[in-house]
Every structure is written in C-alpha cells, then in structure tokens.
Amino acid sequence: MDRNALNAKPVLRLALLINMLSVGTLMMVMPLGPDLVRDIGLKGEHIGYISGGATFGSAIIGFFLAPVLDRYDRRAALTFFLLLRSLLIALCGLATAPEQLLLIFIAAGCFSGPLSGLIMASVLDVTHVAERGKAMAFVASGFSLAAIIIVPASLMLAQWMSWQMTFFFFGGMGVVLAIAVRMYMPSLLPQKSETTPTTVRAAGLAQMTGSTPFVLAMTMMGLTLFGHFLLVPNLSAYFQFNLDFPRNEISYLYLFGGVMSILAMRYSGKMMDKGSGQRVLFALSAIVAIVVYYGFVSDSTDKWVYLIFMILMASSSARSAILAAFTSRVPPPQYRAAFMTYQSTVSNLAAGSAGIVSSIYLVSGPANQLVGLDTLATMTIVSALVVPLLVCWFVPSLKQSQRSTQVPG
C-alpha cells in the first residue's frame, strides 16, 4: 500500500472534525446573542461584530502567515494552532464584559485562517487528484455537521447550564482534538524544505500567486462566498418576518438543510472524481439561480420555505465543494498550505464584506420584514451564473500553466 493510502483515512477524519469544530464555534455565537445581551450587557446590534471581527481577523492573519506555513510539519503546525485557538475559545467563558468577549473571540478567530489552510493542505497531501472531489466533499461536510450538531448543542448547554459552559465545553473539545492530531495524524513534512533556498521558494510562491489559474481560483471562490453570504445571515429573519414561517420550526429547517447538504456534497464529489465536475458545477449554479429567484425575487405568494432552504443549502454547499476540488489543482505540493490559506483569506474577506453590504443595504419594515432582499438576491443570481463561465476559462488556463511553467524549487 502506498503512502497516500496509509495516511488518507486518519487525516480526512481529523480534518472533518477540526472543520466542524472550527466552523461550529464561530456559528454558535449568533444564536447565543440574547444570552450575552442579558448576562454581560452586550448590545443587540453589536452581536455581528463578534463573528465579523473574527472573520476579518482570520483573513488578515492568514494572509501574513501563508508564505511560511509550508516550512513546517503539518501535524506540528495543526496541533499548535488548534491548541492555541481552543484555549482562547475556553477563555471566552471567563469574560465579564462585552469588550473582553469581543477581544478574546477575535483573537481566537485569527487562527482560523491558518488552521483552515493547513487542514486542506493536509488533505491534498494524502489524496490523489482522481479522488480529490470525494475527499473535499467529505471534509466540507463539516460545515453542515456544525449546523446540525454544534449549534443545537451550544444552545442546549446554554439553556441547561450557562453560556459560559458552552465556551468551556467546546474549548475543551478542541484541546482533546489537538491531542488526537498529535497522536493519530501522520507526520507530513513539507517537500524539499531542507534543500530549497529561501529566495527560490519566495520566487516560486510569487510565480504561483501571479499566475492566471491562481487569480481565477481566488476570484471564483470570492464571488461564490460573496453571493452566498449576501443572503445566508438574513434567511431566518426573512422566513419569519416576510414569509410568516413559525419560529419553533427554524431548528428543523437547519437540520433538514444540513442533511441535504451532506448528501448533495457526497454525490457531487463522486461525480467530480468521475470527470463530470464541470457539468455538475453548471447544473448546481443553475439550480442556485432558480431557487434564489423563486424564493427571494419572484412575487409568488405560496413559497415553500422548506423546499427553498433545503435546495439552496444543498446546491450551494455542493457547488462550493466542487469548486474547491477544481482550485485544489493549482498549487504544487510545496505551496499547498500557502495556497489554501490565501484561499481561506479571500473566502473570509468575501463573506465578511457580503455581511456588511447586506447590513448597510437592508432596512426593516413596519412589521420587521426585510426590505431590499430581492436586490441582494439578484446579485447572488449574477454571481452564481458568472462562476461557471470563469471555470470555462480556468480549466484550460490551468492545463496550459501546468504544461509550460516549472515552479522554482
């Protein structure tokens, strides 16, 4: 059995758990907002600053650390960043003022970018290109699992015990996971780190970041996340106030949406590995455009909320997984962590910017209904349709780049 086959299973399982915990600890802050308002005096309109600040902090730190991450053993680097982030998450439970919580949570979020880059680089290290679609879909399902498991669990812990216990518990789970990485993840040493001069490595990294495939990969991922997060933060309010969806069924909505997302990502990953990735991406983008038009732009009065949400979450998640499999072909082995961290930086900036744009543009009507979401939905449709066109440019440019360019080192 080859080295990839030996290392793939533990790496993929650990990557899934790390992704689920990292995303879940960021997602859980929003539904915990009312508890924070009541207990430590956080203003309701400032709740978004917590997750937004962590997202932008992750993007900034990820950008500056990306060039050096490929110099270190993946296992050691993952253990370090995961342990540091988990301890800071646990410290959030000791905050007694809004400013303390904001500062500590943003500090914890700063390490999410490098952590995400190292996770995905490790996945690339142990999977063949022909199996990468399925592997990417498996790891990406951590996002859906976070919505299905971690967010409800955090709400129950806060209800039964306290919001502080939520941070203590998931911070402790992160420490346990860091120990598991140290014990069960194989050592993945960076390629040629001992024989490649620093100047040559820097030149190779600069050549990769200046290439057309790199620019297209970042553009596609940024457009996808920007369009997605124009809508996602506002879905719950839109469904309740605009479509009169019952508040007590919101949890079921996210549960079913998460399950559908996992199934869609698994299927699309298999299709990607069979060589049908481009056709599947076109189909998924068309589905996103259609369901967004039906759910948020059309004047239909009999909108089925469960249908809208489940199809939107499933198609969007599967589309992102397919796109990640495409873009993972850009970096050579010695620059994988750098590439994935840059991609995480772009994703975080796009998501954070979309959240700010939607907050500035949307207004509340007399009955708290959101006014202006149809315009944002139109922007989402445009981004969904542009990305497949960019893929048609990306695929041949990547092949041309791989044929004609030898990255230094």
pLDDT higher at 67 or 343: 343
Which residues have a Cβ under 8 Å from the Cβ of 295 and sit 6 or more positions away?
303, 308, 312, 377
Q: How far apart are CA 30 and CA 32, in angstroms?
A: 5
**Residue ranges making up the domain that contains 391:** 3-404
Asked if the structure places residue 409 within a domain, the reply is no
Query: Domain containing 189 — which CATH number?
Result: 1.20.1250.20
Mean pLDDT of the chain: 79
**Rounded alpha-carbon distances, angstroms, from residue 318 to 24, 198, 269, 393:** 19, 38, 8, 21
From the CB of residue 243, how many other CB atoms can be counted at a distance below 10 Å? 14
**Rounded alpha-carbon distances, angstroms, from residue 87 to 38, 82, 84, 144, 170:** 25, 9, 5, 24, 10
Q: Is the confidence at residue 194, as pLDDT, over 50?
A: no
Asked if the structure places residue 394 within a domain, the reply is yes
Q: How far apart are CA 270 and CA 379, in angstroms?
A: 30
pLDDT higher at 37 or 308: 308
In angstroms, the first-to-last Cα distance of the chain is: 28
Asked if the structure places residue 48 within a domain, the reply is yes
The per-residue pLDDT for range 377-408, each reduced to its tens digit, is 999 999 999 999 998 898 888 888 766 655 44
Asked if the structure places residue 61 within a domain, the reply is yes
From the CB of residue 99, how many other CB atoms can be counted at a distance below 10 Å? 11
Q: How far apart are CA 147 and CA 342, in angstroms?
A: 25
Asked if the structure places residue 232 within a domain, the reply is yes
> What pLDDT is attached to residue 4?
46
Asked if the structure places residue 353 within a domain, the reply is yes
- Matching residue, tokens 């990502």: 265
Interval 248-261 mean pLDDT: 78
- Asked whether the CA dihedral 115, 121, 124, 125 is positive or negative, the reply is negative
Q: How far apart are CA 236 and CA 309, in angstroms?
A: 10
Q: How far apart are CA 389 and CA 374, in angstroms?
A: 24
**Rounded alpha-carbon distances, angstroms, from residue 355 to 59, 83, 340, 374:** 15, 29, 22, 15
> What pLDDT is attached to residue 398?
80
Entry pTM? 0.74
Interval 134-158 mean pLDDT: 75
> What pLDDT is attached to residue 402?
66
**Rounded alpha-carbon distances, angstroms, from residue 30 to 48, 179, 316, 317, 385:** 7, 28, 21, 20, 30
Asked if the structure places residue 314 within a domain, the reply is yes
Number of domains in the chain: 1
The per-residue pLDDT for range 148-159, each reduced to its tens digit, is 777 777 777 877
Asked if the structure places residue 235 within a domain, the reply is yes
